[in-house]
Amino acid sequence: MAQMTDPMNSLLGLQDALKKRLFQMERGRVHPDIGVHMDQPKAGTTRLTYAKISPTGFVKAIAVFVTIEPYEGLPCFQIGYAVAPAFQRQGNGAEIVKKSIDEMINGFRSVIPSFYIEAIVGAQNEASLKIAGKYIAKEAREIEDEFAREPAKQFFRRVG
């Protein structure tokens, strides 16, 4: 069963890591106005983090993709996204999700021409549901999150 995580924790962690200068994000190739960072938080798991960062270094919004079990023999990434409270309701969430998917398509084109994206969104999170419905899939499956034991929606899309 699918699990939700709170991507706001990732946004805060990224903000802290950037403040401490633990690493620098690369510029996006398709969208140079966003930052990109790839790492492997644990063996066999790849994490791609995309961020919209203010000129003063504040993380406005992030989209994080983590590899999960392949689906139909193709790689599958679960997405989580968050927007810092001061930057909500300004289109930042939609922008980072759209631009991050563009970056993945461009970056994977020659190696992984097709892959899946899954989003698990809390049934009460209207802003995130709207973004997932626009950029991941128009239709969602109603599920219960196995971690939070709360109603959620699963969005699933083949890219490429």
Cβ atoms of 126 and 140 within 8 Å: the answer is no
Q: What single-letter amino acid sits at 33? A: D
pLDDT per residue over 58-82, tens digit each?
A: 999 999 999 999 999 999 999 999 9
Q: Hey, what domains does the chain have and what are their CATH numbers?
A: 7-117 (3.40.630)
Distance set, CA 71 to CA 14, 42, 67, 109, 136 (Å): 29, 20, 11, 18, 16
- Is the pTM higher than 0.85? yes
- DSSP string of 24-75, one letter each residue: -PEEPSS-TTSEEEEEEEETTEEEEEEEEE-TTS-EEEEEEEEEEEEETTEE
pLDDT per residue over 14-49, tens digit each?
A: 999 999 999 999 999 999 999 999 999 888 899 999
